[in-house]
Amino acid sequence: MRSQFWGLYVREILRTFRNPFVLLITVVQPFMWLAFFGSGFGGFSSLLAPVLGTSNYIEFLLPGVLSTSMLSVGMFGSMSTIQDKRFGFMKRILITPTSKGLVFLAKAFGSATRGLVQIPVMIAAATAFGVPFDLTPLEWAVWVLALLFIAVGFSSMFLAITASSTDWQTPGVVANFITMPLMFSSAALYPSSSFPEWMKVISTYNPISYSATFGRNLLLHGTIDWTLLGYMFVFAAAMSTIGWFVSSRWFRVE
């Protein structure tokens, strides 16, 4: 089982690095948020400083954008799965002693890992925008771990939703349907303290809020919120279990 997972996981990673275009899109998308949204909205930073907790909006935004960009990696995972189905490669994989659940797991972790590639690029960009980083190695490690949990959780969610699909268009449609509400109902772009009550409820249970708040606590206050990290672990574990179950049962091969 380990051998099959490793083979498929490495395949995902290698394929990403041999396809510079996918890599570029993965990295450019969150960078644009930071550059355009961050710079545009950042003009109000001085007014909002008491609410944001910092006078640099990019510093506030970075943990949020990193969290939402983990949401979009799921779409690439689904797209590569559907590509494998359409080109018959999924049959090549499944006519070996490899279970559908394992194929799912390798895809979920593969696309999550691809998502992590964005972190160093974003950190470098944020540094250029004047964000100071004085984190300890432990703080860096838990931040990456938190983002990995979120990425695994969302990739699993995407793969579970698109498990029975073989249509090229599905991942895009699902992404549009999921990304916007999850992003805007979280604390990724602005603080949730001023939300109306009903939106606060959604935001509280939205994993993107956990990740954004967790990153902000680290970056602005230098504190590690272990409870939030625990929530994110539970989210990743629950989504990958559901994804495993759904894929084993409803995964369509072609």
Partner 1 sequence: MNGALKVEDGAIVVTDLSKRYGSGARAVMALDHVTLSIPKGTVFGLLGPNGAGKTTLIKVLTGISDITSGHATVAGFDVERQSMDVRSRIGWVAAEVILDDDFTAWENLWLQAKLQDLRGWEERADQLLTYFELKDRKNDKVSHYSTGMRKKLEIALALLHQPVVIFMDEPTIGLDVGTRRMLWDIVTGIHKEFGVTVLLTTHYIEEADALCDRIAIIDLGKIIVEGTPSELKARVKGDIVQLEASGTLDSAMLRALPGVQEVRAQGNDWMIRVASSETFLPRLLATIPGDRIRRINVEKPSLETVFLDLTGRRIGQEEPMRDIRKFYMQMARSRR
Contacting positions for partner 1 (CB under 8 A):
3-4, 6-8, 10-11, 14-15, 18-19, 87-89, 91-99, 253-254
Among residues 97 and 130, whose Cβ is nearest to partner 1? 97
**Smallest separation, CB 72 to partner 1 (Å):** 22
**Smallest separation, CB 162 to partner 1 (Å):** 19
**Smallest separation, CB 170 to partner 1 (Å):** 21
Among residues 25 and 47, whose Cβ is nearest to partner 1? 25
Q: At what angle do helices 57-86 and 118-128 cross, to 10 degrees?
A: 150
**Smallest separation, CB 26 to partner 1 (Å):** 16
> Which tokens hold the place of 52?
């944001």
> Which tokens hold the place of 187?
């604390």
| Cβ partners under 8 Å of residue 133, min gap 6 | 123, 126, 127, 219
Among residues 65 and 102, whose Cβ is nearest to partner 1? 102
| Cβ partners under 8 Å of residue 139, min gap 6 | 218, 222, 224
Q: Say if CB 85 and CB 254 are below 8 A apart.
A: yes
Among residues 96 and 193, whose Cβ is nearest to partner 1? 96
